Amino acid sequence: MTVAVNVEGTKRALDRLLFDLKEAAGEAMADCLVASEAAALAAIKAQTKRRTGDLEDKLVAVQISPMSGKLFDTSEHAEFIVAHVIRAKKARALAFQVAGAMVFRRVVNHPGTKARPFVAPAMAAGERALATSLTVRVNGVVSRF
């Protein structure tokens, strides 16, 4: 007795499933990039001290490739949140108080502002978005088979 088994249809179905899963994963990663950028922008904006709104309003997300992006702050004074030198320009000296006493200096080294950890919450939001998107897309692909 001879038994012939033809698995060509099964192979085609598995190949199609693999193709669909790869496509769904790529789409989920692209969605995750967009969600991560949005979460990062929201986290940064929530923690930005608002006087003029310039730092907050000039945050820009740039997609570099389907799987990577960068955030930039294009405001002119964004660099001043890091350590920098301040020089007297319109007067002979800068005037400020230290421990209740008036101090005059031509140049001061500003230490910058205290770090505010806004990247970690943005990364966590991106990871949650990725997990959700992958789950939904993979379940959608698998349910068709």
Cα–Cα distance list, 27 to 37, 42, 79, 123, 130 (Å): 16, 23, 35, 19, 10
Structure pTM?
0.50
Helix%, strand%, coil% for the chain, nearest 5: 50, 20, 30
* Sequence ranges of the domains in the chain: 8-143
Please state, in angstroms and rounded to a whole number, the distance separating the CA atoms of residues 78 and 59.
Answer: 10
Please state, in angstroms and rounded to a whole number, the distance separating the CA atoms of residues 80 and 15.
Answer: 55
In order along its 145 residues, the chain shows pLDDT tens digits of 777 777 788 888 889 888 988 888 788 777 777 777 777 777 777 766 667 776 677 777 777 776 677 777 777 666 557 788 999 999 999 999 999 999 999 999 988 877 666 666 766 777 787 778 778 877 877 787 7
